[in-house]
Structure 1
Amino acid sequence: MNELENTATAASHHLYPLISDLGLILMTAGVAILLFKKIKQPLVLGYLIAGFLAGPYFTLFPSVKDVQNVEVWAEIGVIILLFSLGLEFSFKKLMKVGGTASITAMVQIFSMVFLGYWCGQLMGWSSMDSIFLGVILSISSTTIILRAFDELGVKGQKFAGIVFGALIVEDIVAILMMVLLSTIAVSQQFSGMELFESVLKLLFFLILWFVGGIFFIPTLLKKAKNLLSDETLLIVSLALCLMMVILATMAGFSPALGAFIMGSIIAETTKAERIEHLVKPVKDLFGAVFFVSVGMLINPSTLAEYAVPVIVITLLTVFGKTLSSTVGTLISGQPLKQSVQTGMSLAQIGEFSFIIATLGMTLGVTSNFLYPIVVAVSAISTFTTPFMIKLSIPVANMLERRLPKKWTKAIDSYSSSSQTIKATSNWVLFLRSSIIQIIIYSVIIIAIILLSSRVVLPLVNGFQWANVAVAVLTLLFISPFLWALSFRKVAPTAYEELKKERKFLGPIKIVNIIRILFTLFFIGLLLNSFFSNFIAFTALVIFAVAYMVFPKRLQTLYDRIENRFMQNLNDRENTEASKSKRELSPWDAHMTTFEISAESNIVGKPLHQLELREKIGINIAAIKRGNITINVPNRNEQIYPNDILYIIGTDRQVEKFKTYLQQSFVAVPENNAETVLKNFELKNEDFIGKTIRESQLREKTDGLVVGIEREGRRMMNPESHVVLEKDDIIWIVGDKKKMNSITLNAS
């Protein structure tokens, strides 16, 4: 009994600081949020100040008792932050980032890494401190820029698109640099070969995790969709995140990388937005703890001691990033004004800088003064960011006036020529596709061989014929990819065009031979992993012959695998496109009201005489006459003074009708309580194969079929003899209650 009481007492003493520290952190963070929202400043700054107030260097308020516990919470915060960032990232976004954003980001990153390292060396810092400073200064803050763009209302401008693209590139480069910094920190030397190996290792695992994740995870989520409540989906998504964190750690990478990768994989699924919404409260909680923990490390005495470095690094950040980003954007072929706007928007550091600085402290390779300096520079540059964005246009105008005319003309000429669309040659397209195919299939094949030889084989090593069984199974698994590597056509259109030109026949044969040699090499690698050289060579010949005999079966199997992968990869985009077709009115059609004056030229005329549908393309959904509403009026209905017409049409058609009326009116979009415009996806067998007249949709809905969308083609105002087909999207205007009572979506 005494032992139990002692255990309970010890547990309570251990638990108390954890709860009290977390409570103190959240209370100070809550006050900071309210205050900084009131004064319209970034919340990150509020968290930093809250951390300083709760930290050990500010004694007027209660301080955190157990810093180690807070550090654990902060590490979890980094993982959740990177997972959320991955959910917003998506590798497909990176592939769609244009050359402008990529060039801008790379010029800025290389420039700031060099300037940061050079600045650290001039101030007498160690090499590791200088390297980390350069990397820290090279990454801009997505959070701060998004907030500033929202407040200034510039998100729709062209330069904002360049900035967002540059931020995507910076995020993935930051992940890469974290891996390289970890390698440098462990080896304590700058071996080019080790860095090259680290890059290859990172690329290998990135391709493997992404391809494997896209193939399995969307399928898992779709199969279990009926079981995934909000609670279950949140737990499953966080479990997947932590699983990838474990895999990344086992592979020798940082936990943050694993979280980011899993987030980017889930970003390609149809559940991405829902998961992002569910994870947001968790991210906000742990993100607040992380930023507060950063603020706890602010030491006023250290900042006073290093006031000069803080000022120097701040000036270097603001002006160095502005100049390097502007130059990078100019090099990419953008005009001077947009280049200056882009450069002045990227002039700050933020959340990734904290994560990289935390990495240096965790590895024990950076000095204690670097972290508070980074926090101070981030705080100052956060305040300057909105002002820099506001001043970008005046600065650009001033440069256009002050720069020599030769310079401005040269910039305009270069920009015009750079933005000319250049067609990619068939040979470049074929060669690039072949290289990508070789890399991806090589990664998959090597991964399966390593998994079999190092994991599966040791598990069954004691059984007779274990080597043969595992080797055969492994070959079966990799055979579709071996076939694709050696025989699958890449860029078929470009390939057929190249075959017509004799000068490309030789290079094409060389590329195809290289692919076959890679295939033979991997078969030999597999067999050599399980057998002696002689047996491996003999088996290689046998397998090569068998491999040539069954190409169609291998092709069929590979096509199934590829189709599943491409379906999962494009599922989110296809779903969103389909959803937009159902939720948005086609042809930009919408319902608008017109009040007809007594002087109008259409007063007293019946609808069939006006021919509004034939001449202008609009449909009259209803006529409101005093307290009476005539839904879908017939062709003999006349127009009277002060009638309110409910018109369905596009913006262009509405403008034509406005001109036709030759009168002033107020057009107001309205959702009539009785008459509505609604769409249905036709699934009901009772309507499929019938004409619009035979379906009696007009009678059943007291309405009118105003449009049909079929396989991407749109039919406006279809005739009554048009036959309805399965999966047609039918747009009907009619009585709301009657339309709700019919079922077109299911039988």
Structure 2
Amino acid sequence: MEAHEGTLIIDLALVTGVAAVTAMIARRLGQPSILGYLLAGLIVGPYIPIPLFADPERMAALAEVGVVLVMFAVGLEFRIRRLAEILPVSGLTAIVQIGALAWAGHTVGSVLGWSSAASISLGATLAISSTMVVSAVLRAQPVDADVRAHVFGILVVQDLVAIVLMAVVTTLASGQELGLQSIGRLVGELGVVVLGMLVLGLLVLPRLVRLAIRRFDSEVLVVLVVGAAFGLASVAELFGYSVALGAFIAGMAVAESGRGEQVEHAIESLRSLFAAIFFVSIGMTVDPTMAWQSMPLALGLSAVVIAAQFVSVTSASMLTGSSLRRSVFSGLALGQIGELSFILATIGIGGGVLPEETLPALVTVATVTAFTTPFLLGRAQLVVDGLDRLIPDRVQDFLSAYQTFARRSRGDSDERPLRRSVVAVLLDWTVLLLIYVTHHALGRSLAANHLIILSVGAVLLAAPFLVGLVRSGRRMASQARELARGDGSNDGPWARAVEAVALLTVVLSVGVPTVAIVQPLLAGPWAQALVVAALVVVLVLVGLRFRAVKPGYTSEVAQLAFRLADQLGPAAGDTGQAPHFDPLSGLDYEPLPVEASSGACGSTLAELNLRCKTGATVVAISRGDASVPFPTGHERLQAGDLVALSGSDDALERARALLAAPADSSAPPAAALSEAAT
């Protein structure tokens, strides 16, 4: 080991050489290169007696370079307008996901007999996914553009929340009570720093990038943008925040130049090199002996992370209008913990809150989930196929229609009252939580008679906000129903079903974070179980409400499908143009002809697996004088058929590619789908 002290060149030679060999072996075995990098870290790390050793501290420093470059590249994909479009959906999904994982982590800690502070800290470490792992996996296993945007939108929100969680864990580690004033000040400071860096970047970087591209070569461009990434990363670190935050903002600012794709191509090799070093450094932290000793805890936590991420992200995504395909792919892509989890765990262990065996267990969890993420994501389509077979067709039809409705509503000017109701729900919910946490903090040091007075005052203060929360939630659901009604001609079961789903979304997005925050403050398992039971009861009641309108909704949609099938008939075809329909207010159904040259001719919808592969739903088929509403999947498509498709823009684009793939093409329809996704 001493022979290598101070020799960065030898360290880099060992790391890159071993990583290249292990990555090639992994790719030859059909596995992503990230697994090879983790194995390389084990080989060159300090814990395995192999005569190859790289200094862990130097590799950790170089790994920070990888974090900066990867987060900068992620920021290049998000112009401000694009981020504003996806955050309402991704942000709401992230809130539910973080709440669910924090709740699950606290529950595991309680089962293990840990203190409340330790359980809270464990929940915080499990709530944040790894941007580095997700970025590497999605680069090796490309997914649809809408899935990628949704996943990274969730990761952006996670990284911002992680900063607040660091303050919470630091407070717990110092033995102090959670102070609302300190947390509020932290959130305010974070907002000011983010806004300041964003304004600074937008004023300078877009002009400089365009100038560098116009007048200089790619060498100057790379030096400029990498310098900008490290510059804003150092500003973020100066204020006590993660370098990843500054690098991401730098990427967003550069993307506003309109040359983001060109910049990403220029730094691709540099990013790939240091990203590989990052994963090697993670592998170097794994002590096989400690990992084996903590294996039961690590495997249990890995199962909790994968399952809770999948359930929370998939369900929340679908309720916010994502397709089954996008929801499932996103849920499986986020099933891991990452670099910020280690920071949170280190803070907790340093303050004596978390047991010392937590860190090796979390390193093992990170390694295990880094292995399972590409494995599960590669089988995401099988999961989609399985769920598609389990979910009844009528529910699938509703989900497809609701997805289209949600997409169109987000761009509707009539949605402004709905947005105001959402803001009102969030404000009322925030005030209620502040009242509860304040009551809990003050009540611990009061005598019984004073505590009664405090409790009465808290109830009186909270009552109007609780009433406001209920009213705002109901008003939000009613406004969603109004959007579904459109001009008022459709106030049937469809509109009531939309109202029920909107109400379910409110309950889930407010209830799950509330349980995650309130549960650690409650004394005893019975009180905690009561809160969880209350949430379950409310969810069941809302579900029963949807079930009550489902028969009428099914009948209504069937009638509309028949009407649409009639419109797709010969009379519509005489114009020579594919007509546009609006059979349900706020919904689009796009008619698409099946050409004689299409490889889909002679295949059934079930054989094409169109809904699972694309996310689009065939609502009706027209063939000559015959019309088929809600096909069962056994109908064979023929040349000249006109099919009505429902779904998001990306889903419709994939469906067009699938149906347009020529029969004599050497590339199968799946290849056409891949081209459409890119």
Q: TM-score, normalised by structure 1?
A: 0.49
- Identical residues among aligned pairs (%): 25
The change in CA–CA distance for 1:73 and 1:381 in structure 2 (over 3 A counts) is same
The change in CA–CA distance for 1:319 and 1:54 in structure 2 (over 3 A counts) is same
The change in CA–CA distance for 1:62 and 1:415 in structure 2 (over 3 A counts) is closer
Q: CA deviation at 1:144?
A: 6.1
Q: Is the 8 A contact 1:327 1:339 kept in 2?
A: no
Specify the code of the residue in structure 1 equivalent to 2:305.
T
Which residue of 2 is the match for residue 84 of structure 1?
73
Q: CA deviation at 1:129?
A: 5.9
Which residue of 1 is the match for residue 8 of structure 2?
18
Alignment partner for residue 205 of structure 1, among 181, 193, 200? 193
Which residue of 2 is the match for residue 250 of structure 1?
238
The change in CA–CA distance for 1:347 and 1:210 in structure 2 (over 3 A counts) is closer
Deviations for 1:338-378, whole angstroms, at most 9, x for unmatched residues?
Answer: 4763465345226xx12442464389456432442232332
Whether 2:248 is the aligned partner of 1:293: answer no
The change in CA–CA distance for 1:416 and 1:379 in structure 2 (over 3 A counts) is closer
Whether 2:365 is the aligned partner of 1:374: answer yes
Which residue of 2 is the match for residue 112 of structure 1?
101
Point out where structure 2 has 5 or more consecutive residues left out of the alignment.
425-575, 577-591, 598-678
SS in 2 for 1:270: coil
Whether 2:20 is the aligned partner of 1:36: answer no
SS in 2 for 1:58: coil
Q: CA deviation at 1:24?
A: 1.2
Q: 1:151 & 1:51 partners in 2: Cα distance? A: 19
Q: 1:181 & 1:285 partners in 2: Cα distance? A: 31
The equivalences for 1:476-495 within 5 A come to none
The equivalences for 1:153-302 within 5 A come to 155-156=143-144, 161=146, 163-187=147-171, 188=174, 189=176, 190-223=178-211, 225=213, 227-302=215-290
The equivalences for 1:376-415 within 5 A come to 376-386=367-377, 388-400=379-391
Which residue of 2 is the match for residue 541 of structure 1?
none
The change in CA–CA distance for 1:426 and 1:312 in structure 2 (over 3 A counts) is closer
Point out where structure 1 has 5 or more consecutive residues left out of the alignment.
1-11, 436-615, 617-651, 659-747
The equivalences for 1:572-583 within 5 A come to none
Q: CA deviation at 1:16?
A: 5.0
Whether 2:41 is the aligned partner of 1:51: answer yes
Whether 2:52 is the aligned partner of 1:62: answer yes
Q: Is the 8 A contact 1:347 1:381 kept in 2?
A: no
Q: How many residues align?
A: 416
Which residue of 1 is the match for residue 62 of structure 2?
73
Bigger Cα displacement from structure 2, 72-81 vs 199-208: 72-81
The change in CA–CA distance for 1:178 and 1:342 in structure 2 (over 3 A counts) is same
Q: Is the 8 A contact 2:212 2:220 kept in 1?
A: no
Q: CA deviation at 1:170?
A: 1.9
| Structure with a larger share of its residues in helix | 2
The change in CA–CA distance for 1:333 and 1:20 in structure 2 (over 3 A counts) is closer
SS in 2 for 1:97: helix
Q: 1:88 & 1:339 partners in 2: Cα distance? A: 18
Which residue of 1 is the match for residue 602 of structure 2?
none
The change in CA–CA distance for 1:299 and 1:394 in structure 2 (over 3 A counts) is same
Q: Is the 8 A contact 1:145 1:385 kept in 2?
A: no
Q: 1:412 & 1:284 partners in 2: Cα distance? A: 38
Whether 2:292 is the aligned partner of 1:308: answer no
Q: CA RMSD in A?
A: 4.0
Q: 2:271 & 2:231 partners in 1: Cα distance? A: 18
Deviations for 1:666-717, whole angstroms, at most 9, x for unmatched residues?
Answer: xxxxxxxxxxxxxxxxxxxxxxxxxxxxxxxxxxxxxxxxxxxxxxxxxxxx
Whether 2:332 is the aligned partner of 1:345: answer yes
The change in CA–CA distance for 1:22 and 1:296 in structure 2 (over 3 A counts) is same
SS in 2 for 1:253: coil
Whether 2:406 is the aligned partner of 1:421: answer no
Q: Is the 8 A contact 2:206 2:257 kept in 1?
A: yes
The change in CA–CA distance for 1:20 and 1:96 in structure 2 (over 3 A counts) is same
Q: 2:418 & 2:97 partners in 1: Cα distance? A: 29
Which residue of 1 is the match for residue 342 of structure 2?
357
Q: Is the 8 A contact 1:54 1:63 kept in 2?
A: yes
Q: Which one scores higher on RCO, CA 8 angstroms, separation ≥ 6?
A: 2
Bigger Cα displacement from structure 2, 23-32 vs 214-223: 214-223
SS in 2 for 1:369: helix
The change in CA–CA distance for 1:126 and 1:13 in structure 2 (over 3 A counts) is farther
Deviations for 1:226-248, whole angstroms, at most 9, x for unmatched residues?
Answer: 55322222222222222212322
Q: Is the 8 A contact 1:140 1:347 kept in 2?
A: yes
Q: Is the 8 A contact 1:318 1:348 kept in 2?
A: yes
Q: 2:135 & 2:386 partners in 1: Cα distance? A: 22
Q: 1:370 & 1:176 partners in 2: Cα distance? A: 25
Q: TM-score, normalised by structure 2?
A: 0.54
Q: 1:413 & 1:276 partners in 2: Cα distance? A: 36
